[in-house]
């Protein structure tokens, strides 16, 4: 299976900050990568697909980049509502796998 | 809008069985590839199984292969997960999720249910 590694595990930032988190794949996955936001007690919400395409209805402050094995999710101006855990997921193979998550906290 | 609603979770003893259901409304169920994804308490997301639109192609995570069976009834707009030989490590919230954009082999998930909790304990 393809392993997905996210960093950092937790990050703390202030409202208005630019925030970046990373996801690395154990082998090349082209651009078959998605990002999700999950709040406590809720189902994940799709934010980004194909590494950089914004899902309909998702605020434009979220953006994704990368290809191959290294990917980033950026929030350009952090909002209080962005406090959540963010997961990456590869869908290059028949066994989709998720990263372990990055928890974003608001200072 | 597509809505998914899981049911069937609960407390079961190790070695026991449970069947989860996922009712889907909105859109055309027959056209959807659907999956089960689980999340152990305080842990991350783990893909469990996927079934194609016709129900004749299924894929499973190694951790559940041979114990879990995914199926669907397109006449009832319902997805199922039959779970046998349950273990403590199967304890999790189980989500059904509709596949969104696909690479051809598998996809991401654009609609999710609210989840149903399965607890395996004596």
Over the stretch A63-79, which tens digit does the pLDDT of each residue have?
999 999 999 999 999 99
* pLDDT at residue B105 in the model: 81
pLDDT tens column, B83-100 = 999 999 999 999 999 999
* pLDDT at residue B102 in the model: 87
* pLDDT at residue B61 in the model: 96
Q: Which residue has the tokens 């889907």?
A: B24
How many residues are given for chain B? 122
Tell me whether strands B10-12 and B3-7 are parallel, antiparallel or unpaired: unpaired
Average pLDDT over residues A37-49: 98
Q: Are B84 and B57 in contact (CB under 8 A)?
A: no
**For chain A, percent of residues with pLDDT exceeding 90:** 97
* pLDDT at residue B38 in the model: 98
Substitution target from A3, A28, A43, A64 for chain B, most B beta carbons within 10 A: A43
pLDDT of B74 over the 90 cut: yes
The CA angle A74-A71-B58, to the nearest 5 degrees, is 115
pLDDT of B101 over the 90 cut: no
Chain B nearest-CA distance from A16, in A, is 27
Q: Does B1 contact A at CB distance below 8 Å?
A: no
* pLDDT at residue B36 in the model: 98
B106 pLDDT tier (thresholds 50, 70, 90) = confident
Identity of the residue in B62, B105, B113 whose CB atom sits nearest the CB atom of A93: B105
Q: Which residues contact A57 (CB under 8 A, 6 or more apart)?
A: none
Q: How far is CA A34 from CA A31, A53, A88, B36, B106, in A?
A: 9, 9, 6, 17, 12
Residues of B in contact with A98 (CB under 8 A): 44-47
* pLDDT at residue B104 in the model: 81
Identity of the residue in B44, B113, B115 whose CB atom sits nearest the CB atom of A98: B44
B23 pLDDT tier (thresholds 50, 70, 90) = very high
How many residues are given for chain A? 107
pLDDT tens column, B34-73 = 999 999 999 999 999 999 999 999 999 999 999 999 999 9
pLDDT of A93 over the 90 cut: no
């Amino acid at each position: 299976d393809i392993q997905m590694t996210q960093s950092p595990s937790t990050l703390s930032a202030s409202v208005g900050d630019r925030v970046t988190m990373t996801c690395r794949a154990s082998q090349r996955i082209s651009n078959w990568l998605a990002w999700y936001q999950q709040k406590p007690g809720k189902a994940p919400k799709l934010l980004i697909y194909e590494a950089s395409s914004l899902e309909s209805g998702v605020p434009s402050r979220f953006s994704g980049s990368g290809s191959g094995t290294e990917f980033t999710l950026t929030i350009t101006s952090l909002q209080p509502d962005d406090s959540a855990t963010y997961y990456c997921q590869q869908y290059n193979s028949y066994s989709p796998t998720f990263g372990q998550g990055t928890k974003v906290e608001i200072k | 809008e597509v809505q998914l609603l899981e049911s069937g979770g609960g407390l079961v003893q190790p070695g026991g069985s449970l069947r989860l259901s996922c009712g889907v409304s909105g859109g055309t169920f027959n056209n959807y590839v659907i999956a089960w994804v689980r999340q152990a308490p305080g842990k991350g997301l783990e893909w469990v199984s996927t079934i194609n639109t016709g129900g004749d192609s299924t894929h499973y995570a190694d951790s559940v292969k041979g114990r879990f069976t995914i199926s669907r009834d397109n006449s009832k707009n319902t997805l199922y997960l039959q779970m046998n030989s349950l273990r403590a490590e199967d304890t999790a919230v189980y989500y059904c999720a509709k596949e969104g954009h696909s690479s051809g082999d598998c996809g991401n998930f654009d609609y999710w249910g609210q989840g149903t909790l399965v607890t395996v304990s004596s």
